[in-house]
Amino acid sequence: MSVRYSAVKWNRNKRVYDCVLAAGILLYLGLFFLVGKLAWPGSPGISDEVLLIRALGTCAFLLLHVVLCIGPLARFDRRFLPLLYNRRHLGVATFLVGLFHGALATAYYHAFGRLNPLVSLLSTNTHYASLTAFPFEILGVLALLILFFMAATSHDFWLKNLSPSVWKALHMLVYPAYGLLVLHVTLGALHSEDSSLYVVLVAAGVATVAGLHLAAGWRERLRDSRVPGPEEQSDGERWIDVASVAEIPENRAKVVCLAGRERVAVFRYGGRLSAVTNVCAHQRGPLGEGKVQGGCITCPWHGWEYRPENGQSPPPFQERIATFRVRVKNRRVFLDPRPLAPGTPVEPAGIEEPSHDPLCTTPG
């Protein structure tokens, strides 16, 4: 965890993930090259270099689609979570493949004139007012700069130093980068003979990314709009009716959305109930979608752990998250909506057993 910036340690899973990723990229490039050779045999415009530029460009663009789709997919199906754990590796791979594509394209189309290739790339085409002759390469350069910035700050060292919310906000730049690349490919395709195929494929990609995000957001809103049960006032305090005890599965949580859209996860474990913020201190993962393992709430995204009764990570880690008071009355779970300072210990609420047959109780 972040105490020594080693939250996500290099382990066997990561090595397997990276090997599969590298093999997948090589396989894609090889297949693209082979199919390209067969599809355009002897075509003068399609040299091996151009095929490689196209293979690398489409590969990076495809990887970016995977990066963008994993989040919403993991919300719908937990089997996508392993992909999410190492999404940053996918992001770095996207940048590297995009870099090779950009470098090769610059070398191939701009290295043989009088000008420096970079100067030539940035200054030769100035048809900014034209749709069909627009210097689409500039859009690729801008997107590549964003991808570089994200790859360079992807380590937990930056997450810790910039704070999770700043880091998250910076990494939202992936959406402008995606927008730039959609334009890069679409406008670039207008220069080429295969424009309709590229435009159809890009439209399908955009529809998939947008559709998945909208569906995940809609599901989230639907959950949030489920108003918690009636409030209860006692001792001058306000308690929110979260659910019945039976509605919360063992070692899992019920997530409740408070006014102001703050989400709280109420966990049931070993006959007790505790509540913590739903937001993980690492990258704001949804703790309520995780489970209690070995006495700790485990974040579903990268496995950070917190004790449910005090919101503290087990030693030697020092992360703290906000806790909330919980109580049980008539088998219903009530929550005090006021957050306590991160790491504040709270006595877990015991689950009341259903009342027994009065004939069996000890006579008084």
Q: Which parts of this chain interact with ligand HEM (CB under 6 A)?
A: 50, 53-54, 57-58, 60-61, 64, 94, 98, 101-102, 105-106, 109, 121, 137, 140-141, 143-144, 181, 184-185, 188, 192
Contact partner, 58, from ligand FES, ligand HEM, none, Cβ < 5-8 Å per class: ligand HEM
196: number of Cβ within 10 Å: 9
Contact partner, 64, from ligand FES, ligand HEM, none, Cβ < 5-8 Å per class: ligand HEM
Rg over alpha carbons for the chain, rounded to the nearest Å, is: 26
Smallest distance from ligand FES to CB 303, Å: 6
Query: Which is nearer to ligand HEM, 56 or 299 (by Cβ)?
Result: 56
Smallest distance from ligand HEM to CB 37, Å: 15
Q: Which is nearest to 273 in space by CA: 333, 221, 330?
A: 333
Q: How far apart are the first and last CA of the chain?
A: 55
Smallest distance from ligand FES to CB 247, Å: 24
Distances (CA, A) of 63 to 5, 92, 114, 179, 189: 27, 10, 35, 15, 19
Contact partner, 61, from ligand HEM, ligand FES, none, Cβ < 5-8 Å per class: ligand HEM
Give the C-alpha separation, 205 to 84, whole Å.
Answer: 19
Smallest distance from ligand HEM to CB 186, Å: 9
Give the C-alpha separation, 106 to 112, whole Å.
Answer: 10
Q: Which residues here bind ligand FES, judged by CB under 6 A?
A: 280, 282-283, 285, 299, 301-304
Q: Which is nearest to 279 in space by CA: 251, 293, 258?
A: 258
Query: Which is nearer to ligand FES, 106 or 154 (by Cβ)?
Result: 154
Contact partner, 280, from ligand FES, ligand HEM, none, Cβ < 5-8 Å per class: ligand FES
Contact partner, 283, from ligand HEM, ligand FES, none, Cβ < 5-8 Å per class: ligand FES
Query: Which is nearer to ligand FES, 94 or 283 (by Cβ)?
Result: 283
Number of H helices, E strands in the chain: 10, 12
Query: Which is nearer to ligand FES, 143 or 287 (by Cβ)?
Result: 287
Smallest distance from ligand HEM to CB 155, Å: 21
Contact partner, 98, from ligand FES, ligand HEM, none, Cβ < 5-8 Å per class: ligand HEM
Q: Which is nearest to 55 in space by CA: 93, 100, 16, 22?
A: 100
Q: Establish whether the linkage from the previous residue to 117 is cis, with ω within 30° of 0.
A: no
Give the C-alpha separation, 14 to 6, whole Å.
Answer: 14
Q: Which is nearest to 299 in space by CA: 8, 6, 4, 3?
A: 8
Give the C-alpha separation, 171 to 166, whole Å.
Answer: 9
Smallest distance from ligand FES to CB 326, Å: 22
Query: Which is nearer to ligand HEM, 75 or 110 (by Cβ)?
Result: 110
Strand 263-269 and strand 305-306: pairing? unpaired
Query: Which is nearer to ligand HEM, 50 or 326 (by Cβ)?
Result: 50
Q: Encoding tokens for residue 42?
A: 């002897």
Whether 75 contacts 216, CB under 8 Å: yes
Smallest distance from ligand FES to CB 166, Å: 15
Contact partner, 299, from ligand HEM, ligand FES, none, Cβ < 5-8 Å per class: ligand FES
Tokens 């382990």 correspond to what residue?
11
Contact partner, 182, from ligand HEM, ligand FES, none, Cβ < 5-8 Å per class: none
